[in-house]
Structure 1
Amino acid sequence: MPICVFDIYPDGTTTVPTDTNLTGPGAYRWWHFDLSDEMLEPWAREHLHDIPAGSLVQKQTRPRCDQFNGGLILNLRGINMNEGQDADEMVSVRMFVESDLLITVRRTRVFALDTLRQLAEVQNAPPSPAEFLEGLVARLTARVQEHVAGIYEQTDFFEVDLEDTTTKMPRELPEIRRSVIRLRRYLGPQRAALSKLAALDIPLIPQESQLELHEQANSAMISVEELDELRDRLVSVQEEHDVYVAQRQARHGYVLSVAAALFLPLGFITGLFGVNVGGMPGTGHPWAFTLLCLGMGALAVLMFALLRKLRWI
């Protein structure tokens, strides 16, 4: 059973049909399904050509826009706003659109479709399939822009943090990088699909709708360009943090190397004088230990001066 069915009239009013015909008496009939509905595929195969029917029931999709006998096969993606799910795991909308028919299929709840459904329930639905597409695309694009803007702000914060070299790399930085990559994966094809949709010269998409769709395609293009920029900026932030870590490690290693160089001859002398055999000089002299310590101190100063002269420290 569909989630909802509406006959939508040219003034935006709606009725719920009592018949099972594919189209109705209004300007168009909107069928909205969940992909998990077991009746969806038999219903689609019975009422539609195999190509649009197959596109509606595909398990995996990517954004696309293709003409089919005067109609449209359209797949779009939107930000996942469902509770407990990652926003970048974008939700999909599968559509088949004709002048008097609109079929939408979703796998996960799509809030943009829910908003249009609520408008239909209060007798304020988009009066044509083209305006329905305008409203859906506008809502999907706006939420993408909001999400990208949020990542933009986080990236600005990360870059400001770089001014303090003692700040550790943010734990969420790798996850945000992965999020940008996933978003870019879907929004690149979506930009192409929206550009193609806006360029179609068919009766289904009148000129005034084309202008609005051109604007949405432009917004999608801007979002993709921003994601490309964010991806590079986030890589730069992580690389700078990696450089700071490498510099600290190198400095610590340098200090340890200098200490080892200073104490190497001292360790040799103490080891030599620590052998427990007869004949060691100074064993019977009361000032031998004092003189040995003073000699090692002088040797340490000499080693330090030599390293400074060689510019190793």
Structure 2
Amino acid sequence: EYFVIKGTKLWDGQTLYDLYKKAYMPWEWHYELKELAEKLGLVWFSSPFDFSAIDFLEKLNCPAYKIASFEIVDIPLIEYAAKTKKPLIISTGIARLDDIQEALDACKRQNNFEVILLKCVSDYPTDYEDINLLTLKNMAETFDCLVGLSDHSKGIEVPVAAVTLGAKLVEKHFILSRNIDTPDKEFSLTPDEFKEMVRAIRNVEKALGKVTYELTERQKKARKLARSLFVVKDVKKGETFTLENVRSIRPADGLPPKYLKLILGKKAKKDIKKGTPLSWELIDF
């Protein structure tokens, strides 16, 4: 009874053994996947679940290790991975604050400070209202480390939003087709969806930019379309400027509208035709 899953949306009634038998990555796949990733210029890594898996991955010169959410309480496993001095990616899907701190302390005891924490909710698929992305910034400040997102919601909105809040890494499940019967197909992205997520994140990264009030060259040109003061009726020399013959309209060839109150009641220095941008030379002070 201890090993039967209860209280989940997708896997109730299954044993942990049966679930992970379907979900685990066969060790022999690593050779081909490593070769393909390196050929494509991709960084590959894997999630070990015991010491023997780390030993195996070390023989493949695995460049980093991902500690899954349910293993964050396995301090001996984290210490063993940290001993390799490789970067560690630690998910926090079931973790309390003290669990996260203990995991980080385990890494520090091995003089491994290359750790990124992933905000995560171990509920599959995750409801949007349970994700609490605003925790990302607090997590980065509280633990003084890089943060990212391990996402199990449907769609791509949550990863894209996470990037705006400081996520430096996004983990998302991947499936070639939802016609394939896998335990995670309900919250995995197809190739087209994954590509769209990456495209959206890269665009958002560009859009985040920097804090600046400087205008781009295009904005400077756009200012030509701003409002300014124009004479909107023919005005004779000596005639008074009023709201009937001076208005704030586009484009920006006349005086700025902020001078309207100053100009009202003043007189024209000469005859002015309708449609003329108002300038100081036309006003008799």
Normalising by structure 2, we get a TM-score of: 0.27
Higher RCO (C-alpha under 8 Å, 6+ residues apart): 1
Normalising by structure 1, we get a TM-score of: 0.25
Largest Rg, 1 or 2: 1
Which structure has greater helix proportion? Answer: 1
